[in-house]
Amino acid sequence: MPWQAELPFFPKRPEGEAPESIALGERVVRYTLRRSRRRSIGLSIDHRGLRVAAPHRAPRAEIEGLIRKHAAWVMEKLDEWRERRHAAPPRLTDGMRLPYLGGWLEVRVADGDDQAAWMENGSPTLTLFPRSAAEAGTLLGKALRRKALELFGARLARQAARFGVEPPRFALSSARTRWGSCSLKSGIRLNWRLIHCAPHLIDYVIVHELAHLTEMNNGARFWAIVARHFPDYRGARDALKKLSGTLPVIA
């Protein structure tokens, strides 16, 4: 939401972060450098742009060398985020279609009292009954989240049984950069937008997070657990990367 105030608002930059820039071919890329007591250099890209985490003693030449090594990936992901920021929510019309569980969901709109009805015998259909046209988008988001909570909970229970554990605490997230997260304290969070993806991709994310209950890292033992329960995890991981910038923007 844009700020509207008489005085400009300048958010305080977190301690230890510094703005930097680097020339990648003919393109100048700005990035944020954060130094800490870590052992290696890491690159990440999200809505804030390129972010580099590096050890305190890492030379600038080593940092820039790693960025240049991954220049194609950096520019591709930055372009994806730029397109995503400019993307507008789909115009909600009666009869529109949205990706749903690897197929399509038809959305119907009729006058009503803030209700939504699902029909999944045959071609999946969601009928919205908003009080006004302006409320239809909000109602759509609520209906998809409720369905995601139901579907993901059932799939989580099945995968937890395969792991031989009780289903952990579970909630939905609206993260823009992560499909799922796991905490021993708060349990598993799954991005509700996975409802747009094929069921096996949802299962991959669930397996990924369940594996973190045993290995809270991304080391070899962690991936061995994932592979045991989801052998084609590499294919699923690649598919999710390709889908990340193509899913509809829904409030």
Structure tokens that stand for 142 in this block: 């609520």
Q: What is the pTM of this model?
A: 0.66
Q: What is the pLDDT of residues 182-193, one digit of tens each?
A: 888 889 999 999
- Encode pLDDT of 53-112 as tens digits: 999 999 999 999 999 999 888 888 887 777 665 555 566 888 889 999 999 999 999 988
- pLDDT average, residue stretch 3-27: 59
What integer best gives the mean pLDDT of the chain?
85
Q: How confident is the model at residue 4 (pLDDT cuts 50, 70, 90)?
A: very low
| Alpha helices in the chain, H assignment, sequence order | 60-69, 71-86, 136-163, 199-212, 220-229, 233-243
What per-residue confidence (pLDDT) applies to 7?
Answer: 32
Let me know the angle formed at the C-alpha of 153 by 148 and 156, rounded to the nearest 5 degrees.
120
What is the C-alpha end-to-end distance of the chain, expressed in Å?
A: 13
Radius of gyration over alpha carbons of the chain, in Å?
21
Q: What residues does each domain of the chain span?
A: 17-86, 96-243
Q: Which residues, 6+ apart, have CB-to-CB distance to 9 below 8 Å?
A: 3
How does pLDDT run across 132-161, given as a tens digit for each residue?
Answer: 888 888 899 999 999 999 999 999 999 999
Query: If pLDDT is split at 50, 70 and 90, which confidence band does 246 have?
Result: confident
Section 18-41 average pLDDT: 88
Q: Which CATH number fits domain 96-243: 1.10.580.10, 3.30.420.40, 2.30.42.10, 3.30.2010.10?
A: 3.30.2010.10
What does the alpha-carbon distance between residue 251 and residue 170 come to, in Å, rounded to a whole number?
21
